[in-house]
């Protein structure tokens, strides 16, 4: 029971942000090479759904 919760927490804390960052990076790479397309927009939209940009932390200095 506790193991299942730990796995769920690890998935939400680690895997989801990494997947969002990967999708966002892939979207930017595709746009840089070929310009805006449906695939790049779909990847960016998916990354925003997983983890919005405004949720990023900023340094206080």
pLDDT in tens, 6-61: 999 988 888 888 999 999 999 999 999 999 999 999 999 998 888 776 655 666 66
The pLDDT of residue 56: 57
Which residues make Cβ contacts (< 8 Å) with residue 28, sequence separation at least 6?
Answer: 40
Q: What is the pLDDT of residue 2?
A: 87
Q: Please indicate, yes or no, if residue 55 is contained in any of the structural domains.
A: no
Residue 14 covered by a domain: yes
Domain contains 58: no
Structural domains in the chain (count): 1
Q: What is the pLDDT of residue 39?
A: 93
Burial 38-48 (b: 16+ CB within 10 A, else e): eebeebbeebb
**Angle made by CA atoms 16, 48, 43, in degrees to the nearest 5:** 90
| CA-based nearest residue to 17, from 57, 61, 59 | 57
Question: Domain of 38?
Answer: 2-49
Is 33 a domain residue? yes
């Amino acid at each position: 029971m506790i193991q299942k919760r730990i796995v769920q927490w690890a998935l939400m804390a680690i895997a989801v942000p990494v997947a969002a960052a990967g999708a966002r990076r892939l979207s930017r790479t595709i746009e840089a090479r070929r310009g805006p397309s449906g695939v790049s927009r779909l990847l960016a939209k998916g990354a925003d759904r997983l983890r919005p940009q405004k949720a990023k932390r900023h340094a206080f200095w």
